[in-house]
Amino acid sequence: MSAAGSIRIIAIVGGSAAFLIGASIFLAAIGRPPLATLSQMVLYAFGDSYSLSESLVKATPILLCALAVILPARLGLITVGGEGQLYFGALTGTAVVIALPAAPMVVLLPAMLLAGAIGGGAWSGIAGLLRARCNVNETISTLLMNYVAVLLVNYVIYGAWKDPASLGWPATMMFPPAAIVPSVFGTRAHVGLIVGIAAAVVLHISVTHTRWGIALRVLAGNRKVAAMAGFSFVKQTLLVMALGGALAGFAGICETSAIQGRLQAGISVGYGLTGFLVAWLSGQNFLRAIPIAILIGGLIAAGDALQLYSKIPSASATIMQGLLFVAALGASGLAGRGTARHG
Amino acid sequence: MAETEALAIAGSWVAAMLRSSTPLMMVTLGETLTQRVGIVNLGVEGQMLCGACVGFAVAAATGSPVLGFAAGATAGLLLSFVHATLCLGCDANQIGSGIAVFTLGLGLSSYFGRSAIGGKVAGLAPLADNSFADALFVGPILTQLTAIAPFAILVVLIAGLWLYRTRTGLNWRITGESFQTARALGIRPLLVQAQGILVGGLLSGFAGAILSVDYTQTWANEMTKGRGFVAVGLVIVARWNPFLVLPVVLLFGLSEAATLRLQATGLTLSPYLISCLPYLVCLGCVIIVAVREGRIGGMPAELASVFGRRR
């Protein structure tokens, strides 16, 4: 087996073991039987068709936000802006619905989704432009812009777009049926999931089998060599940031339309951050991100179910995510170091 | 007459500026010291949240704000231990590890902070009682500020003197500039980096406790609202220099005080738009500094592997 393959297996086994130990300690600390609760979570996540569809609903924005992290990572950029891009995409997509509430579905639905993607792409593109032109660190700019995008959504739903009929509740009007993203398989899961999986496959093929993929690899490795080969860092930075942001923005307008039915606060429960976690767990690999996003979507759906049935607050799912991230980073780091030393 | 009025207004502005910048001062100083040893810690946001949560709970339970500050600082310290273990013990990526610590801190503080929601604490007493309220210029400052603001300024000055004027401070700076050189000089760079991360954790936890116990005197989920991330940006603006942390944070506090004042004047601008201003100001400062980077410099060389070099 290749060295990279054995590192990966050691990391996965070690990371899973460390996560299970950490999660058990946490559950024991809050007075819950660890094994019973963990197996209950697996049932709540994937036990029956309803649980599975809820997990897929959660996995959809997570997958799209993960792709928005992985694509820039292929150029060596670290963005944590999924949350802001998601919110800004929801904002621009909703703008179309507010402007053309009576338009027929063939016009309204594509226009809304496109506007959401463009909004997310533009929001992320700002960070890309700042990085490419002014050398502003993209991690910091995306983190700061997350808060601004959430505030902008609050601004419109408490202000100009607030529906008078919602009796003081800060939200826009309900979307007309022509602006509702269709669901698939007769469940709450929607078209966004199909788009996410298709995007992952297309991006994977693009970066492994095309000249564009070579450009990204060379630019990530050595920018001087890349410049001699005629690859532009500025152009590629803008491209990957905008494309990634467009996927996250698309996730935002899909959540707004298919899940909430109107723009309101809390359209995302940290999907951007969770997408970052998934991107990292996948080793910045588009295809691996699909099953991992579904697994983490299951973890979050199980967290919701635990809150409902066992009165365990849903913040426990955030703690579990944190523990999983710590375990995975630690295990892959240690596995990589051990092999480097002996091999 | 106009002069006294102007002085009174200036006094209340200085008080508001100092009050809102004190938590940020501590977390920015902590991140500055961490980055001086060549480590970036985005987990400060999570550490601040835990510090705010634990500090508030302890202050509410014991009735002692000082105990609250100590407990908050300890919570930040403990959480930063995770970052130290991942980065130094496991060679994990610093940005990834920082986000992991942030996620953990966010989850822990919202889980265990539920019982503290709606609680009440008595903050520190003001520097002077209301009989001084009419004193020119210093009146509003003395009656609105607590001992924590001058204490924080003192901590920043001491940290600056320590970093630039002592042997151990020099060792820290060497470690941040060159791991190899530090090793050749007989400094144990990993130990110094661990200390840098833990000091940053202590100060960010303290900053969180100042926010919840002394400034807002409440606890709410995610109450730090990205102040930790803002601090990471301001460290760059302050060019990794503790002395520069003071003016940078105070200017930032001034803009925050200005937004609060704008709202109070009955301006019809939405509070949500006004709340965007601190993040935009921070981003704007980072952009200005990044454009002028070649002429100002000051980044510890070991950070280049994390932040990336120009072209």
- Beta-carbon contacts of B276 under 8 Å, excluding residues fewer than 6 positions away, are A147, A148, A151, A152
Output the six-digit token pair for A41. 């979570």
A202: amino acid identity, one letter: V
Nearest to A326 among B93, B104, B276 (CB): B104
pLDDT at B146 (0 to 100) = 87
Short-list A115, A154, A66, A158, CA closest to A257: A115
Same domain assignment for residues A137 and A93: yes
Chain length of chain B: 311
Burial class (CB in 10 A: 0-12, 13-18, 19+), B123: middle
Distance from CA of B11 to the nearest CA of A (A): 31
CA A258/CA A262 separation, integer angstroms: 9
Number of domains in chain B: 1
Short-list A291, A281, A236, CA closest to A71: A236
Dihedral, A212, B92, B73, B31 alpha carbons, nearest 10: -50
Q: Per the domain annotation, does A210 fall within a domain?
A: yes
Nearest to A326 among B100, B282, B308 (CB): B100
Output the six-digit token pair for A170. 């800060």
Residues 73-112 in A contacting B (C-alpha not used; CB under 8 Å): 76, 78, 80
A130 to chain B: which residues are within 8 Å by CB?
287, 290
Distance from CA of A177 to the nearest CA of B (A): 30
Q: Which residue of A has its CA nearest to B307?
A: A137
Sign of CA dihedral B37, B42, B46, B49: positive
pLDDT at A343 (0 to 100) = 35
Q: Per the domain annotation, does A168 fall within a domain?
A: yes
Reported as a pLDDT band with limits 50, 70 and 90, residue A200 is very high
Distance from CA of A226 to the nearest CA of B (A): 11
Nearest to B307 among A137, A224, A326 (CB): A137
Task: Name which of B41, B94, B99, B236 to mutate to probe chain A: the one with the most chain A Cβ atoms within 10 A of its Cβ.
Answer: B99
Q: Which of A2-11, A327-336, B40-49 holds the top average pLDDT?
A: B40-49
**pLDDT tens, residue by residue, A9-58:** 888 888 899 999 999 999 999 888 999 999 999 999 998 889 999 999 99
Output the six-digit token pair for B263. 């709202």
DSSP string, B2-65: HHHHHHHHHHHHHHHHHHHHHHHHHHHHHHHHHHHTT---TTHHHHHHHHHHHHHHHHHHHS-H
Q: Per the domain annotation, does A271 fall within a domain?
A: yes
pLDDT at B8 (0 to 100) = 79
Average pLDDT, chain A: 90
Reported as a pLDDT band with limits 50, 70 and 90, residue A1 is low
Reported as a pLDDT band with limits 50, 70 and 90, residue B297 is low
**With an 8 Å Cβ cutoff, are B96 and A134 in contact?**
no
For the ranges A29-43, B15-29, B118-132, B193-207, the lowest mean pLDDT is seen at: B118-132
Helix residue spans in A74-190 (DSSP H): 82-99, 105-134, 138-158
Whether residue A334 lies within 8 A of chain B, CB to CB, comes out as yes
Residues 280-309 in B contacting A (C-alpha not used; CB under 8 Å): 280, 282-283, 286-287, 290-291, 293, 307-308
Q: Is the separation of the CB atoms in A184 and A57 below 8 Å?
A: no
State what percent of residues in chain A have pLDDT above 90.
62
- Mean pLDDT computed over B66-95: 94
Q: E strand or H helix at B266, and its extent?
A: none
Reported as a pLDDT band with limits 50, 70 and 90, residue A341 is very low
**pLDDT tens, residue by residue, B199-257:** 999 999 999 999 999 998 999 988 999 999 999 999 988 989 999 999 999 988 888 88
CA B153/CA B159 separation, integer angstroms: 10
In angstroms, what CA-CA distances link B2 with B6, B7, B8, B258, B265?
6, 9, 10, 21, 20
Same domain assignment for residues A6 and A140: no
Average pLDDT, chain B: 88
A325 to chain B: which residues are within 8 Å by CB?
96, 99-100, 103-104
CA B191/CA A168 separation, integer angstroms: 56
Nearest to B290 among A135, A146, A315 (CB): A135
Output the six-digit token pair for A174. 């309900």
Phi, psi dihedral angles at B126 (to 5 degrees) = -65, 165
**pLDDT tens, residue by residue, A267-277:** 888 899 999 99
Whether residue B276 lies within 8 A of chain A, CB to CB, comes out as yes
pLDDT at A113 (0 to 100) = 96
Same domain assignment for residues A127 and A232: yes
**pLDDT tens, residue by residue, A110-125:** 999 999 999 999 999 9
**With an 8 Å Cβ cutoff, are A325 and B42 in contact?**
no
**With an 8 Å Cβ cutoff, are B86 and A329 in contact?**
yes
- Mean pLDDT computed over A177-204: 90
Percent composition of chain A: helix, strand, coil (DSSP 3-state, to 5): 80, 0, 20
A270 to chain B: which residues are within 8 Å by CB?
106
**Domain housing A270:** 62-282
A135 to chain B: which residues are within 8 Å by CB?
290-291, 293, 310
Task: Name which of B90, B252, B287, B311 to mutate to probe chain A: the one with the most chain A Cβ atoms within 10 A of its Cβ.
Answer: B90
Distance from CA of B235 to the nearest CA of A (A): 11
Short-list A238, A260, A253, CA closest to A64: A253
Q: E strand or H helix at B86, and its extent?
A: none
**With an 8 Å Cβ cutoff, are A329 and B93 in contact?**
yes
The number of C-alpha atoms within 13 Å of A127 and in the hemisphere containing its C-beta is 33
Largest CA distance in chain B: 66
Q: Per the domain annotation, does A253 fall within a domain?
A: yes
In angstroms, what CA-CA distances link B253 with A184, A293, B203, B261, B292?
50, 40, 18, 12, 23
Same domain assignment for residues A207 and A89: yes
Same domain assignment for residues A68 and A168: yes
CA A263/CA A98 separation, integer angstroms: 10
**With an 8 Å Cβ cutoff, are B103 and A154 in contact?**
no
A313 to chain B: which residues are within 8 Å by CB?
110-111, 114
Same domain assignment for residues A243 and A339: no
**Domain housing B70:** 2-307
Q: Tell me, what DSSP letter sits at residue B88?
A: I
**With an 8 Å Cβ cutoff, are B92 and A154 in contact?**
no
Residues 36-65 in A contacting B (C-alpha not used; CB under 8 Å): none
Q: Per the domain annotation, does A272 fall within a domain?
A: yes
Whether residue B149 lies within 8 A of chain A, CB to CB, comes out as no
Same domain assignment for residues A126 and A222: yes
CA B253/CA A27 separation, integer angstroms: 41
A305: amino acid identity, one letter: A
Q: Tell me, what DSSP letter sits at residue B238?
A: T
pLDDT above 80: residue A233:
yes
Chain length of chain A: 343
Q: The domain spanning residue B162 has which CATH number?
A: 1.10.3470
Distance from CA of A182 to the nearest CA of B (A): 32
pLDDT above 70: residue A216:
yes
Helix residue spans in B210-270 (DSSP H): 227-237, 242-264
- Beta-carbon contacts of A164 under 8 Å, excluding residues fewer than 6 positions away, are none
Whether residue B226 lies within 8 A of chain A, CB to CB, comes out as yes
Same domain assignment for residues A18 and A123: no
Q: Per the domain annotation, does A39 fall within a domain?
A: no
Q: Per the domain annotation, does A137 fall within a domain?
A: yes
Q: Per the domain annotation, does A50 fall within a domain?
A: no
Rg of chain B (C-alpha set): 20
CA A87/CA B299 separation, integer angstroms: 33
Same domain assignment for residues A75 and A145: yes
For the ranges A12-16, A280-284, B132-136, the lowest mean pLDDT is seen at: B132-136
CA A57/CA A258 separation, integer angstroms: 10
pLDDT at A342 (0 to 100) = 45
Same domain assignment for residues A248 and A335: no
- Mean pLDDT computed over A62-82: 95
Q: Which residue of A has its CA nearest to B279?
A: A144
CB atoms inside a 10 Å sphere around CB B88: 17
> What ipTM was assigned to the predicted interfaces of this complex?
0.90
**Domain termination residue (choose one: A235, A260, A282):** A282
Q: Is the separation of the CB atoms in A127 and A81 below 8 Å?
A: yes
- Mean pLDDT computed over A236-251: 96
Same domain assignment for residues A117 and A255: yes
- Mean pLDDT computed over B145-163: 94
- Mean pLDDT computed over A316-331: 91
Same domain assignment for residues A121 and A9: no
Output the six-digit token pair for A245. 């942001």
Q: Is the separation of the CB atoms in A217 and A210 below 8 Å?
A: no
- Beta-carbon contacts of A93 under 8 Å, excluding residues fewer than 6 positions away, are A112, A113, A115, A116, A119, A249, A252, A253, A256, A257
Number of domains in chain A: 2
Whether residue B92 lies within 8 A of chain A, CB to CB, comes out as yes
**Chain Cα centroid distance, residue A278:** 8
